[in-house]
Amino acid sequence: MGLSQVAGARVRRLVLGAVALAVATLTPNVATAQSGGRARVMIVTGVAGDPQFADVFFKQATTMIDALEKRFGIPASDVVYLAEDPSRDAARIKGPSTKENIERELAAIASRSKAGDVLFVMLIGHGSGDGTTTRFNVPGPDITAADFARVLEPVKGATIAVVNAASASGGFIAALSGPNRVIVTATKSDMERNQTRFATYFVQAYASDVADADKDGRVSVLEAFEYARREVARAYESENHLLTEHAQLDDNGDHKGTSAPDAKSDEGTLARRVFLGGTASSVTAVARAASTDPRVATLEREKDALESRIDSLRRRKASMDSTAYEKALEDLLVQLAEKNKAIRDAAGGRP
């Protein structure tokens, strides 16, 4: 049994029933927990080019939307869905995913976003690029990474998370990277042009509990990224195929992505605290506001200290024996899961 399986088994035993409690109590409140602390979401599926891909893209988009609305309590009014064929689900698809519509709807969402909000954009489909211009393929003229950068430039205060799960998506990082932004791409560069599998697993991270590494009942963008990247590699390996997509993440504003975010590379710190519906700090505020018991504040400080220890450990990974590192990380993750359970119990008024 691998480390992740061992750790997962231990954590599940320690927090049996706690995840269900978290989903029932804390999670639905995240989207409206604070004034200005909500998730505003845009899901876009581009040109399929083949009926098979049209079915896949539709399933990925609707599964993601269902997860956000039903599991994480994000109102349908805060989710905009654009697709190549709006007639496929007229009730939910707001319009065709043309460049004009994407820019207009994104600008409208951006204008409503406030400090503390999370503005989340997910692109599902095909992409193209020549090393200079990266495009997402949509009906009519394609939309480029530079187009997204222009529309998002006025956004101040809100955290922006853009997930381009399309082929040849790597160029989006250089174009969109910046402060208070998490940029995720399915590929390392424009040259990785094969159809990607990243979206399937990224969506799965939100649609089930498989990616909730710390068992706090929520899924951070970092957790979803790491789960999807790992499962993509596993799928290619199981089929004895050469890996043709190398997912990247940037959240420190340096315009460079990495496939392995950690504290040493200064990547992943923001993504670890970004949830669809708010950031870790806003959820912390919910927990503190939910109870006048000073135990909650104490437990939150202890949780912050554990997360700092995890970051510190990851910075030392390269200099440590791999077995010792994995054991230390497993122990800290178990402690973090226990602490999250204690916070939920205290905030809920349970003894």
Tally helices (H) and strands (E) across the chain: 12, 12
Is pLDDT at 338 greater than 70 in this prediction? Answer: yes
- The confidence score (pLDDT) of residue 217 equals 77
Residue environment code for 32-64, b if the CB has 16+ CB neighbours within 10 A, otherwise e? bbbeebbbbbbbbbbbbeeeebbebbbebbbbb
Confidence of residue 279 (pLDDT cuts 50, 70, 90): low
What is the rounded CA–CA span in Å between residue 257 and residue 180?
Answer: 15
Confidence of residue 277 (pLDDT cuts 50, 70, 90): low
- The confidence score (pLDDT) of residue 168 equals 97
> In sequence order, what are the beta bridge partners of 220?
275
pLDDT: is 281 or 79 the higher one?
79
**How many residues in the chain?**
351
Q: Which domains does the chain have, with CATH numbers?
A: 38-278 (3.40.50.1460)
- The confidence score (pLDDT) of residue 28 equals 33
- The confidence score (pLDDT) of residue 20 equals 33
- The confidence score (pLDDT) of residue 289 equals 45
Q: 242: which residues sit within 8 A by CB, 6+ positions away?
A: 236
Confidence of residue 348 (pLDDT cuts 50, 70, 90): low
Alpha helices (H) in 170-274, listed in sequence order: 172-176, 198-207, 221-238
Is pLDDT at 2 greater than 80 in this prediction? Answer: no
- The confidence score (pLDDT) of residue 303 equals 82
pTM: 0.76
Q: 112: which residues sit within 8 A by CB, 6+ positions away?
A: 40
pLDDT digits (tens, 9 = 90+) for 60-107: 999 999 999 999 899 999 999 999 999 999 999 999 999 999 999 999
